[in-house]
Amino acid sequence: MLKKLIFFWVGICLSGAVFAKDSKIVGFDQVFNLDTEHAYQLEIGDLNPSSQFWTAFYLVGVPKVVESAAKVDFYVTGDGLLEKSHPANPTEITSLVAENLPIRHNYSFKNFDDLVAEIEAQTGKKIQDPELGEAANVRVYGRILDWIPEYNLQRPAHIMFGLADAQDFDIKAAYLVVGEGDKTPQVLQLDLQQKTDPEQVRQSFDDTRKSPTFNLASMEAKFLIFLVIAAATIFLNWGKWRRS
Tell me if 228 is assigned to some domain: yes
**Is the domain of 71 the same as that of 179?**
yes
Answer yes or no: are the C-beta atoms of 42 and 123 closer than 8 Å: no
- The pLDDT assigned to 195 comes to 57
CA distances from 215 to 92, 146, 186, 204, 228 (A): 40, 33, 25, 15, 20
Tell me if 162 is assigned to some domain: yes
Tell me if 71 is assigned to some domain: yes
**Is the domain of 142 the same as that of 187?**
yes
Domain residues for 172? 24-195
The H-or-E segment that residue 239 falls in is helix 212-243
Tell me if 91 is assigned to some domain: yes
**Is the domain of 219 the same as that of 178?**
no
Going residue by residue through the chain (244 aa), what tens digit of pLDDT does each one get? 444 444 444 444 443 333 345 678 999 999 999 999 999 999 987 777 777 889 999 999 999 987 778 999 999 999 988 998 888 888 899 999 999 999 998 999 999 999 999 999 999 999 999 999 877 889 999 999 999 888 877 888 999 999 999 999 999 999 999 999 889 999 999 998 755 544 334 443 454 455 454 455 556 666 667 676 777 777 667 666 566 6
- The pLDDT assigned to 36 comes to 93
**Is the domain of 57 the same as that of 7?**
no
Examine the fold and report which residue of 195, 218, 233 is the final residue of a domain before the chain moves on: 195
Non-local CB neighbours of 10 within 8 Å, separated by 6+ positions: 228, 231, 232, 235
**Is the domain of 90 the same as that of 211?**
no
**Is the domain of 9 the same as that of 31?**
no
Answer yes or no: are the C-beta atoms of 170 and 61 closer than 8 Å: yes
- The pLDDT assigned to 101 comes to 94
Tell me if 132 is assigned to some domain: yes
- The pLDDT assigned to 150 comes to 86
**Is the domain of 53 the same as that of 158?**
yes
**Is the domain of 187 the same as that of 237?**
no
- The pLDDT assigned to 234 comes to 73
- The pLDDT assigned to 231 comes to 73
**Is the domain of 130 the same as that of 233?**
no
- For residues 128 and 150, what is the distance between their CA atoms, to the nearest angstrom? 33
**Is the domain of 146 the same as that of 37?**
yes
Tell me if 202 is assigned to some domain: no
How many structural domains comprise the chain? Answer: 2
**Is the domain of 172 the same as that of 91?**
yes
Read off the CATH number of the domain in which 160 is found.
2.60.120
Tell me if 145 is assigned to some domain: yes
Tell me if 201 is assigned to some domain: no
**Is the domain of 155 the same as that of 237?**
no
- The pLDDT assigned to 4 comes to 45
- The pLDDT assigned to 193 comes to 76
Q: Which DSSP category does 103 fall into? A: B
